[in-house]
Each structure stands twice: as C-alpha cells, then as structure tokens.
Structure 1
Amino acid sequence: MTTHLTRRRLLGRGALLGGALAVPGLLSACSRTEAGTGAPAGDADLLARLRKQGHVRVGFAGEAPYGFQDGGELAGEAPTLHREIFTALGIPELKPTVTEFGALIPGLLAGRFDVVSAGMAITPDRCAKVSFSEPEFISPTALMVREGNPKGLSDLASCAAAKARVGVLTAAVESGYAKAAGVGDGALVSLAKQQDGLDALLAGRIDAFALTGISLRWLARTNGGKAVEVLEPFVPVVDGVKRYSPGGAVFRQGAVSLREAFDRELARITGDPARYVRLLGEYGFTEREVPPRTLRTAELCAG
C-alpha cells in the first residue's frame, strides 16, 4: 500500500516576497463570473481563450525552490515546468501574481489567476475545492551530514542503529518518520528553521539533519562552501506505508480541457527523466523526484 502526506511550507517567509507584483491588470478578476462563487464563467473554453490571448495568469507564493522571484524573473520548479508545458500548448507567456500560500486557492477560485504554479501538495481536502494535475514531483526525505559522513549514515534506520542525534524541524513530519525508524525521543533535536539545522550540524549538536532532499540541496546551495553534504534521498515508511509527498499544478474544477491538455504535456516530461532533470536540476530536482507512473492524482484525492 502507498500513501502520501502533505508537503509543509519548505522555506521560511522572511527572505521571500510578501506582496503582489505591481504588474498592471494582473490582480483584476474576470468580469464574467459564476453566480455566487466569484469564479470566472466559461472555464470549459479556458484553453482556447488562453491560446488566443497568448498568456496564462499564474499564482505563486514566493517559496524557493518551488516558485519565486529571481532578479525580477519568475523562477523555480513550478514556473519552469509550467512555462515549458504552456509553451507546448501554444500559450507562451506566464503572467505572475505573488500572494500568501494560504491565499492561492481562494485567489484561483475568485479568478485572479488561471493556475496555481507553486508546487502545492495534492491532498483530499484541497481536491474537494480545486482540480490538480497529475503529480509533478515527489519529495523523498534525505539527510544532511557533515562532510565525509563520519558516522556512515544513509537513512533514518541507520541513524537509529548508530544512535545518531537527528535534527528535525519543529512540528515537521520528519519527527514521526524518525520515530517510526527507531530513533528515540532523546536523540531527536527540534529546530525552528532550516538554517538552524545546518548550523547545529556544523557545531556538532546533531549528527544529521532530516528534511526533504529538495530542501536540503537548496539549503546546501545557498550555503555554498560549508562543510556539509546531502546524502541520497529515500522514501520513509511508516506502518508499512511509503510517504511520497507529491505536488502538482492547481486548476479550477471547470477547467477540464486545460487540465487534461496540461497533463498530456506533463506526462511527456515526467516520462523522460533526462529532460525532467535538464529543466529542473538547477533547483535541486533529480531523477529521485520524478513521480512514479503508478502515482495518480485520483488516488491521492481519495485519501
């Protein structure tokens, strides 16, 4: 049996954008709306309309490495992947709106943008309100250790066997993963933010820092030159269940033709791991993040 947990907010908000981009017209909702919802009418024709106008409005949350501003340009996993897909669909331009993560789905439903481009986790609660693409990525767990991996660690079970001290973010899922692997409460060290994990590792307060491989590789990149390394990712197992934590693009439920066309192009990319890594490697995505063909959004939405 396989199931999947919600991806938490991977990076702190302090260094990220907090307001909407000042691009004329991006914040105005469509004038035609479904009665009582505020959502645009005619989503069944959205693909054709986007092709005609040549751009798609995307909402993102300023969360590296998923979707963020880099030198004034929209960057990250989701915008890069979505730009490739929409260009193939005859929609060459992404027009961005940045908002708080919790405002992405309400903004989509209100018609402030056409697609959420933020690497959002696919969960049953969200599926009741919106429509997700097939998975764009999975988020295997990894360990950051001191350079040279002095304790010879590989995964959380190896941490338990070596009686290693493991750093985890406060209230994050890795604490439960570690306990399921046999790491005792006394060996778990709670940390407030990602940078605290790297600092604690270098100071010798912990032997390993557990987080998603995507986030750890980004942390290592933004701390270039520090004497740490990120080990190969692994998929945690809790009570016999694999925990993949997948994410995808988000559409309004009426935008069926757009989502289906998006999924067809997405499948061409996820079905070609070399192409996937060429597109997303600079953001820390590897072949380990390519979703398995058997992983389907319908299953994830069912819970």
Structure 2
Amino acid sequence: MSVIPYPSRRVLLTRTAAVTGALAVPGLLSACSKTDAGQEAAGLAKLKKQGYVRVAYANEAPYGYEEDGQLKGEAPTLHREIFTALGVPELRPTFAEWDGLIPGLQAGKYDVISAGMAITPERCAKALFSDPEFISPTALMVKAGNPKKLTDLASAKESGAVVGVMSGAVEKSYAIGAGISEDALTTLQKPQDGADAVKAGRVDAFLLTGISLNWLARNNSGLEVTESFVPEIDGVKQYSPGGAVFRRGAEEVRDAFNRELKKIVSDRGRYVQLLGAYGFGEDTIPPAGLKTAGLCRA
C-alpha cells in the first residue's frame, strides 16, 4: 500500500472551529452502552485477554499511515504505547477512507480510530473521543532565509506578503481574522501546490499547520517553516486538537486510555521522544485546561 504523504482531507474535514480551554463536564461524552450497529463495545478485560486492539487508520502521514508493512505515525505510535501499558500489546490495523472511519467504528469493524482525528461537536455526537493528544498550531512555509522575516499573521499583514491558503481550509479564516485582505490571499488545492507556489515566488508564504508544513518540508528543498503560533479569531485561540476515537459504550476503555495519555502529555520529554520523528513537539502538547467535554460542546 502506498503512503499518502500529506493530509489532503484533513484540512477540509478535521479542523475545528475556534476552541478554548474548558472544564470537563461529567457525563457529557457518555452515551448508550451499545454501538449504533447494536454491537457491544469491547471492554478492557476482553482486550487484555485477546492481547490486541483493532485500530483504523486513513493512511495520512504523519498522523497514521502504513509504510514498508508497518503502521506508523503519531496516533499508532502513541496508541501502541498506551495500550501496551494497559496490557494490550498489539495493534491490529484496518485501513479505511477518511469518510468511512466513524461509520466503520459504529459498525464494530474496529475498536479505535488511530488517525489524528480532530475533536468536533458533530463527531462527538457519534462516538467517544479521548482527551486531546495534540494541538495543531499554525505556521508559515517560506523560502529559505525567510526574505520577508515573517513570524506570524501580524507580520505577514504588516509586510504586505501574499499568503497561500488551502481551498476550503480554516487557515483562510485565520488570515482574514488577522486583517489580511482577500486580495493578498492565493487559494491552492493541495499542500504540494503551496510549496510549489512559494518556490516559484507566486506567494511569499504558505499558511497551514506546523505539523503538516514540517512534514512537507522534508521533501521540498529551498524552503523553511517558521516557528508555530496559535492564531486567534476575535480574541479566541484556535487550537485544533485531535484525539483517539472509541465506540459508544467503550467508556471504560476510553477512561483507562485517558489515564495513560495524561501521563505522557504531562511528561514533555517522553512526549517529544515518542512523537518527535513525526513533527510533533512541545508546541503540539495540549494545554492542561483544554478538555474534550468543552470541545464537544463548542
């Protein structure tokens, strides 16, 4: 199976709107004890007994993808660490198209979605999310040397830079919210188009998540990525968090997962050691006050 190197669907389908840190509301994510397909979700005891957990991935690097017969990426790496600590040492992967991930989960085809899926109210109505595994700060891809010395959207506005944004992606709203006029924005269809536009000088910078841009930069010489920043709209920070997804009725497994997840995100060194190879670092660690319950009602 070939690797889909960049998150083409993610920018259209997984980004959240503005979210801020919120206190958890007990029971907000609780739902019926069975899946929509009427199949009971596997409990932790069953998973331990069988020794594996079935996970789904969408083949989108660097979130979850197959390479050389191995399941790699942020989500599988983190989930393997967590489930091993829970006494379930094996991940058994199933590939699914992005649009089919949650329907497949509801149908009982797998136990967990390991794809870096963003936490949104619409998805929370259909499944259980873990606490945030990461946030997706924004960054700018520029030519090597950063000729305009761009650091964030305010500097892009001040310099009069032409900024590339993905068609249908949330970054356009970030740019407009920062006061950049639509005349200074160029719409592109996919990440590689953004890199090509910067190389050719058609845009001064390409705006996307730092995670995606750093991955893109690996295969595009002559470009660099600025330090990530968290944009704001009307004073509200845009974190765009993602997490693991469980079937309804799997609260026990989700809660056990969250306990182990907390240990990792609370240990910056361990988090970076686990996920640094995929472009995740200290700037992608979720703030302590950012809770799934608040994201689900945003």
Q: TM-score, normalised by structure 2?
A: 0.88
* 1:141 Cα offset (Å): 0.4
Q: Which of these residues, 268, 271, 280, is aligned with residue 273 of structure 1?
A: 268
> Are residues 35 and 54 of structure 1, via their aligned partners in 2, closer, same or farther at CA, if it must alter by over 3 Å?
closer
**Deviation at 1:38?**
2.2
Partner of 1:16: none
Deviation digits for residues 112-156 of structure 1 (CA, Å, limit 9, x no counterpart): 000111111101111111110000000010001111111111001
Provide the residue aligned with 2:19 in structure 1.
none
Separation (CA, whole Å) in 1 of partners of 2:50 and 2:265: 28
Pick aligned residue for 1:67 from 64, 67, 84 = 64
Letter in 1 for 2:281: T
Q: Verify: 1:286 aligned to 2:281, yes or no.
A: yes
Residue number in structure 2 paired with 1:11? 7
Q: What letter is aligned with 1:38?
A: A
Which of 95, 98, 103 is matched with 2:100 structurally?
A: 103
Deviation at 1:270, TM superposition (A): 0.3
In 2, distance between residues paired with 1:126 and 1:265?
A: 23
What's the % identity of the aligned pairs?
A: 61
Instruction: Report the aligned-residue RMSD.
Output: 1.6
Q: Quote the residue 1:117 is aligned against.
A: 114
- Displacement of 1:35: 8.4
Distance in 1, matches of 2:268 and 2:59, equals 26
- Does 1:84 find its partner at 2:81? yes
Match of 2:166 among 160, 166, 169: 169
Residues of 2 paired with 1:137 and 1:283: CA distance?
Answer: 12
**Map of 1:8-47 to 2, 5 A cutoff?**
11-12=7-8, 37-41=36-40, 43=41, 46-47=43-44
Q: Distance in 2 between matches of 1:114 and 1:178?
A: 38
Task: Tell me which residue corresponds to 2:210.
Answer: 213
| Structure 2 unmatched ranges of 5 or more | 10-32
Measured against aligned partners, the alpha-carbon deviations of 1:238-273 in whole angstroms (never above 9, x if no partner) come to 011110000000011211110010000000000011
- Runs (4+) off by over 6 Å: none
Which amino acid is 2:248 matched to? Q
Aligned to 1:244: 239
User: What are the Cα deviations for residues 93-127 of structure 1, in whole angstroms up to 9, with x where unaligned?
Assistant: 00000011111111111110001111111011111
Deviation at 1:10, TM superposition (A): 5.9
| In 2, Cα distance between equivalents of 1:36 and 1:167 | 42
Letter in 2 for 1:11: P
1:37 is displaced (CA, Å) by 3.5
Give distance in 1, aligned partners of 2:185 and 2:130: 36
For 1:207, give the aligned amino acid.
Answer: D
Q: Helix, strand or coil for the counterpart of 2:180?
A: coil
Letter of the structure 1 residue corresponding to residue 95 of structure 2: V
Name the SS for the 2:62 alignment partner.
Answer: coil
Alignment of 1:253-272 (within 5 A): 253-272=248-267
Please give the per-residue CA displacement for 1:77-108, whole angstroms capped at 9, x wherever unaligned.
00000000000000000000001111111111
Cα distance, 1:227 vs structure 2 = 0.8
Which of 267, 281, 296 is the equivalent residue of 2:291? 296
**Quick one: structure 1 residues 36 and 191, their matched pair in 2 at CA, closer, same or farther if it must change by over 3 Å?**
closer
Once the two structures are TM-superposed, the CA of residue 36 in structure 1 deviates from its matched residue by 9.0
Which residue number in structure 2 is paired with residue 26 of structure 1?
none
1:63 aligns to what SS in structure 2? coil
Letter in 2 for 1:163: G
Residues 196-245 of structure 1 show CA distances to partners (whole Å, capped at 9, x for unaligned) of 1111111111111100000000000133xx11111100011001111000
Partner of 1:229: 224
